[in-house]
Amino acid sequence: GAVVSQHPSRVICKSGTSVKIECRSLDFQATTMFWYRQFPKQSLMLMATSNEGSKATYEQGVEKDKFLINHASLTLSTLTVTSAHPEDSSFYICSALGQGAHGYTFGSGTRLTVV
């Protein structure tokens, strides 16, 4: 079946540094990628939607200069948290939609801790 590989699964970084999270579709072409964030005790929050080859569409309240999304190919999308701060600590997960995929496929998620 369709698989989305998300790396890293856990990352700890220092405040002020940048962290890149990758999502790769392994056996299908992901034309659309959704990036979500979950705060403790809350449900997922959509951060942005990206289509291959075009700029991501960010949800209201999400800083596009802080959360850089790149979807340069049909099999890879990246989320870079720039100048991370402790309040960026969260669980980030991607979801891909593409031709040949069984509906939407989720990555395994990334737990980011900023110290």
Partner 1 sequence: AQSVSQHNHHVILSEAASLELGCNYSYGGTVNLFWYVQYPGQHLQLLLKYFSGDPLVKGIKGFEAEFIKSKFSFNLRKPSVQWSDTAEYFCAASNNAGNMLTFGGGTRLMVKP
Interacting residues with partner 1 (CB under 8 A): 1, 34, 36, 38-44, 46, 49, 91, 93, 95, 102-104, 106, 109, 111
Least distance in angstroms from the C-beta of 20 to partner 1: 19
Least distance in angstroms from the C-beta of 92 to partner 1: 10
For 1, the token pair is 């079946």
DSSP letter (8 states) at residue 101: S
Structural contact between residues 47 and 56, judged by C-beta atoms closer than 8 angstroms: no
Least distance in angstroms from the C-beta of 111 to partner 1: 6
At residue 88, what are phi and psi to the nearest 5 degrees? -85, -10
Question: Parallel, antiparallel, or unpaired: how do β-strands 10-13 and 110-114 relate?
Answer: parallel
Least distance in angstroms from the C-beta of 48 to partner 1: 10
Q: Which of 43, 41, 25 is nearest to 33 (CA)?
A: 25
Angle 48-91-102 from CA coordinates, rounded to 5°: 60
Closest CB to partner 1 among residues 84, 112:
112
Closest CB to partner 1 among residues 13, 46:
46
Closest CB to partner 1 among residues 47, 83:
47
Closest CB to partner 1 among residues 1, 61:
1
